Amino acid sequence: MFSAITYELSSKFLEEHKCTRLLGSAMSKKPAAQPTLHKVIMVGSGGVGKSALTLQFMYDEFVEDYEPTKADSYRKKVVLDGEEVQIDILDTAGQEDYAAIRDNYFRSGEGFLCVFSITEPESFDATQEFREQILRVKNDENIPFLLVGNKSDLGDKRRVPLDACRERAQLWQVPYVETSAKTRDNVDKVFFDLMREIRSRKSDDSRATNGDVKRTKRRKIKCNIL
């Protein structure tokens, strides 16, 4: 009761104060330019732990219950080698009735975490297919990409030999990392490694296009298509 009155009084008395504060916060928002956004796509068969890895990375939580994902998007500000960046993670469905549906979001991705479960050879096999679709959609052999063997905490149930994983990564010329969404082992590493790759790709691109002039040109072209 008393606090309610206090609130009421204070909100009246501090009307002016509030306005300046709102102005202040609005002003303070402007100079804080949006940090660079790195778009990461989680791909892989159903049940390999894409969402688990994402939730562990985002909120330091491990959810035991399995609920198939359709698609979900996450954003988080992180400090990557001293630079504040924003990571955008698109967590996708492992089971998609029509692969073509993936085309659009693969297209939007700048880097991929291709996840399988070391306890499930089928999911390892499926990475092949995901890889091919990504390369086709992105039309880029050097797209930032990490092969991720998840569920490393279940070592005794391992059914995908480490050599096979490394061999495949070697073949694709991508890094291979084993993670555990449950124990958080290497979770940050895969996201940060991938962001580093994305970042270095972006700076390569801008160097290749030789500065800002060409970049704006490129953007213009994009706009024309739209």
Partner 1 sequence: MKLEETSGLGESAITAEVFNASGRQQRLSAEGGSLTLSEGNARLRSWPLHVVRVKTDTSGGVSIEAGGETLTWSCTDERSRIALAQMSQAAHSAPVGPPSDAALAALLEDAEPDDTDAERRVKRLGERLARLDALNVGGMLAAATEGGGAQLATRLEAGSAAGAALSARLSRLEALTRAAPAALHARSGAARADAAARALLVELHEIYEWLDAPALRDLDSLSEISLASTEGRARALSAAEALRNALRGERTATPARLRLGAVRERLRRLERARDALAAALARHLNNALIHLANEAHAPAAPRRRHHADLQPYAPFMRWLKDMDEKAHDGLVKVYVGTWSRVYEREVHAACESARAALAHAPAERIDDLLDEVLTLVETVCNAEQDFCTQFFHLDVDVKGEAGDGERSEKSDGGERADGRRAAGEARRLRGDLFPALEQELVALVAHVERHEPYGAMRALACVGRRVLGEGGEGGAGGEGGEARWARAALAAVAVAAKRGADRAVADRLAALPDAVKQAARKPKCGILSFIPELEEMSAVCEEIFARGRRADLDRWYLSLATAMLRAIQQAEHPRTPRAVVQLENYHRLHACVSALRVPALDALRRDAKARYADALRHYVTQYFGRPLEKLAQFFEGVGEAVAAGVREDEVCYRAAFSKHELRRLLGLYPAHEVRKSLHRLYRTVEKHLSEEGGLLQVVWRAMQEEFIAQHVALQARIAACYPGAGLTLPLSTQDILDAFSDIAREH
Query: Is residue 22 involved in binding partner 1 (CB under 8 A)?
Result: yes
139 — alpha (psi -120 to 50), left (phi > 0) or beta? left
Spell out, one character per residue from 123 to 142, where the chain touches partner 1: x when CB under 8 A holds, - when not. Answer: --------------x-----
CB of 220 to partner 1, least distance (A): 15
Helices and strands (H, E) in the chain, number of each type? 8, 6
Which of 24, 68, 155, 161: binder of partner 1 (CB under 8 A)?
Answer: 24
CB 120, CB 160: distance < 8 Å: yes
Taking CB under 8 A as the rule, does residue 90 contact partner 1?
A: yes
Amino acid at 21: R
Query: E strands, 64-207, where?
Result: 71-80, 83-92, 111-117, 145-150, 176-178
Of 20 and 203, which CB lies nearer to partner 1 in the complex structure?
A: 20
Q: Does 105 bind partner 1 (CB under 8 A)?
A: yes
* Beta carbons of 57 and 180 less than 8 angstroms apart: no
Q: Which residues of the chain form contacts with partner 1 (CB under 8 A)?
A: 3, 6-7, 10-11, 14, 17-18, 21-22, 24-26, 29, 34, 58-61, 70-76, 88, 90, 92-93, 97-98, 100-101, 103-108, 137, 225-226
